[in-house]
């Protein structure tokens, strides 16, 4: 993920504004706010400006995923060209759904909030939708999880950990 974030910073950072790059990266699956904060740090965007940009960018796709992904997947399964991709995504999401075993809400919050590879708002909302989780619970868990991941990644990306240690 770090190499992708560096690529965005190097290739788009000189073409469009740094804040726009941070927003775009935060919108993308896999990268999300974690990648957005890395890019913000690389492009020297002030942390106070970077955090809201990353959170908004990361949260924007979540309600749409929760509300529409099952219909989009059903539509995509009608064609052999996209059927395999959808089935692979569903299988991958359901394999990760075991992380929600400790209770849907807390499990989803921790799944989205602990910045590990393959976790985050996109995957968390996909899992919540495929499991038929209540929309309000899922959106709140994803929102709080994104905030948690943002705090953790802010500490890591901006070297704030050194301020706490020393």
Whole-number pLDDT of residue 165: 53
Whole-number pLDDT of residue 104: 87
> For the chain, which residues score pLDDT lower than 50?
none
pTM, whole model, 2 decimals? Answer: 0.85
Closest CA to 52 of 125, 145, 141, 154: 154
Q: Token match 């921790």: residue?
A: 110
Query: Can you state the angle between helices 135-157 and 104-113, rounded to 10 degrees?
Result: 30
Whole-number pLDDT of residue 64: 97
Whole-number pLDDT of residue 99: 66
Whole-number pLDDT of residue 66: 96
């Amino acid at each position: 993920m770090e190499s992708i974030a560096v690529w965005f910073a190097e290739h788009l950072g000189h073409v469009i504004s740094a804040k726009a790059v941070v927003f775009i990266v935060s919108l993308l699956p896999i990268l999300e706010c974690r990648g957005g904060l890395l890019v913000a740090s690389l492009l020297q965007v002030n942390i106070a400006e970077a955090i809201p940009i990353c959170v908004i960018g990361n949260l924007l796709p979540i309600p749409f995923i929760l509300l529409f992904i099952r219909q989009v997947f059903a539509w995509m399964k009608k064609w052999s060209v996209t059927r395999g991709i959808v089935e692979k995504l569903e299988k991958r999401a359901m394999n990760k759904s075991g992380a929600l075993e400790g209770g849907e809400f807390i499990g989803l919050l921790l799944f989205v909030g602990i910045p590990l590879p393959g976790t985050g708002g996109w995957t968390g909302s996909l899992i919540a939708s495929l499991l038929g989780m209540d929309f309000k619970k899922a959106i709140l868990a994803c929102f709080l999880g994104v905030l948690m991941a943002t705090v953790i990644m802010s500490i890591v990306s901006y070297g704030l950990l050194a301020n706490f240690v020393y």
